[in-house]
Structure 1
Amino acid sequence: MAMTAYKYQAQALMKDYLLADPLVPYTSVLIGIVLCKIAYDFTRVLSSFYFKGYCSLTKIQRIEWNNRGMSSAHAIFITAASLYLILLTDLFSDRVKGPITFRNSIISTFALGVSVGYFITDLAMIFWLYPSLGGLEYVLHHTLSLVAIAYTMLSGEGQFYTYVVLISETTTPEINMRWFLDTAGLKKSSAYLVNGILMFVAWLVARIFLFMYVFYHIYLHYSQIVQMHVFGYYLVLVVPAVLFVMNTLWFMKILKGVKKTLAKWP
């Protein structure tokens, strides 16, 4: 009976406080920051047990190692949330009437808040150790992402486009794995080659073709986009365009790296 009472109290707390509409954005951001800390520490503990070379890494390498574990965890979470909301629910479906630019839910807002918590944490670490964890391109990418996600979380506008763009985070684990393998001295392994090919394919699909779909969707639904607040309107038009340019430049580097690796492979 006591356990049942505690269960009902916990459910009431979630419903009436943590998931109450006005508090969802702020609660979810806090949860996102806490989950980042947990993922960071979990990566550190797991790596110290199962990777013998972890302790021999330099301090900054260990920090970046743990940071990449944290970013991989976020990428898996937000990619899964994006695919679920876009493909498995009716939130952004054509079956629902009304402008797609104004559709949102508690779940969609909550997931965006967790992502905001991640970008705040990661951006803080980048500034703290600048430029060890990334240069100006990372600062620009994270700042644009943070502003766009925070706006759509707080306003409820343009969440569809935010989630489509966030699917591009599916490339993050491959990028991090490439760094892990390189740091572990496995640059000449088969795993490194396979990961490079997977990274190339994932980047082409999620950061090139998918963004082309975003631009096409914006073109088809422009009459709905102009109904948004002026700040949201420019975010929808500018942020994907800037990220697409950055993605294309990075893709050229990835393509060059894959060609170089394949040329040297026996």
Structure 2
Amino acid sequence: MSTTTATPADAFEHGDPKRYRRGCRCQKCRAGANADNIRRRYLRQTGRGTKRTPDRAADHILRLRNAGLNDKTIQQSAGICPDVMYRILRREGTIHVRTETRITSVPVPATGGPSGSRAYIPGCGTVRRLRALVAAGWYAAELARRLGKQKENLKQIIHRGEDGQVTQRVADDVRALYAQLHNQKPEDHGVPRRYAERARQMAAARGWAGPGYWDDEEFDDPDFQPAIDDLAVKRNDRAAVRRAEVEHLEQFGLSEHEIADRLGMAYSTVRNIVLEIRSGQKRVRPRERAVA
């Protein structure tokens, strides 16, 4: 994660309010801060305050996106951090007039890269490919890193549903990434096992089918739906096999951590299975208890 170093007080002249706010309490800086406060108060009283609603800035960011600029480029050009940008896009709170000016001063490109890259197309196939990768253990932050996108932007695409739209460029990038990763195990490429397991569990809870349940042309066919019932049956079969493996290893006196390492399973999952085996009763999970 990149970090930004705060500008030190010495970067500003004595008398500049910014130097005062960074700790300088000399006479000139106190006078400059007082004058700045008087000016701000006057502007507020005359209806010319320094705060604005985020609407104008948000609209301009959307125009920049539509022109083909990615979020990182927009942030660097406008001198804003990701948190500020996404708060503006959610149209929350207010922003400083200088922030609005920096954003609206970023020029909208006349062309957005390769021909046709700005065209919007149905996002069904893109969303399905991303969800299939999540089901395989590729968590959103890792996918965003490989696509050169912000995590929040990618999560919006994944979670907004198959009825949305994406640019042709995004669709092409996701298609290429899927071709590269769909038959690869995340743990073999530096992804921590706990993150991969968490992604798989989230996808399973939402009924997202993994790569094994799709042919490539089926992703873009809105009338095709993977056999979710078959998916659940196969998942239950796999769970039964894992349970039998845990029970077998547990009989040899292996610890739960050792069993988890041998089977490539999460420790918490092994722990729950062992407790069920020892108690002779299936543990009721919160979701099952709520349904009951």
TM-score when normalising by structure 1: 0.28
Question: Which is greater in Rg?
Answer: 2
Higher RCO (C-alpha 8 Å, min separation 6)? 1
The structure where helix makes up a greater share of residues is 1
TM-score when normalising by structure 2: 0.26
